[in-house]
Amino acid sequence: MPIAIVTGSGGLIGSQSVIHLAESGWTVIGIENDMRARFFGPEASTARMSAELARRFPDELIAEDVEIRDPAAIERVFAGAPGPVGLIVHTAAQPSHDWAASDPQTDFGVNANGTLNLLEAARRHCPDAPFVFCSTNKVYGDAANRLPLEEHDQRLELPADHAWHDGIDTSMSIDASTHSLFGVSKAAADLLVQEYGRYFHMPTACFRLGCVTGPNHAGTRLHGFLSYLMRCTITGQPYAVYGYGGKQVRDNIHAADLVRAFDAFAAAPRPAAVYNLGGGRQSNCSMLEAIQLCELIAGRELNWSLADEHRIGDHRWWISDLSEFKRDHAAWNIEHGIEDILRQIHDANAEHWTAA
Between strands 204-209 and 249-254, the pairing is unpaired
Q: What is the pLDDT of residue 192?
A: 98
Contact between residue 154 and residue 314 where contact means Cβ atoms under 8 Å apart:
no
pLDDT at 152: 97
End-to-end C-alpha distance for the chain, whole angstroms? 39
- For residues 20, 24, 30 and 35, what is the CA-based torsion angle, rounded to 10 degrees? 0
The confidence score (pLDDT) of residue 41 equals 87
What is the C-alpha separation between 143 and 344, in angstroms, rounded? 33
Domain boundaries, the chain: 3-355
Per-position DSSP letters for 104-139, written without gaps between them: HHHHHIIIIIHHHHHHHHHHHH-TTS-EEEEEEGGG
CA distance 125 to 88: 12
Give φ, ψ of 307 to 5 degrees.
-90, 140
pLDDT tens track, the chain, 356 positions? 799 999 999 999 999 999 999 999 999 999 999 998 889 888 889 999 999 999 999 999 999 999 999 999 999 999 999 999 999 999 999 988 889 999 999 999 999 999 999 999 999 999 999 999 999 999 999 999 999 999 999 999 999 999 999 999 999 999 999 999 999 999 999 999 999 999 999 999 999 998 999 988 766 665 668 999 999 999 999 999 988 999 999 999 999 999 999 999 999 999 999 999 999 999 999 999 999 999 999 999 999 999 888 777 678 999 999 999 999 999 999 999 999 999 999 999 998 888 76
Q: Residue 219: what pLDDT?
A: 66
Report which of 230, 234, 239 is spatially closest to residue 345, judged by C-alpha positions: 230
Name the CATH superfamily housing domain 3-355: NAD(P)-binding Rossmann-like Domain (3.40.50.720)
Give the pairing type, strands 284-286 and 249-254: antiparallel
Q: What is the pLDDT of residue 356?
A: 64
State residue 147's pLDDT score: 97
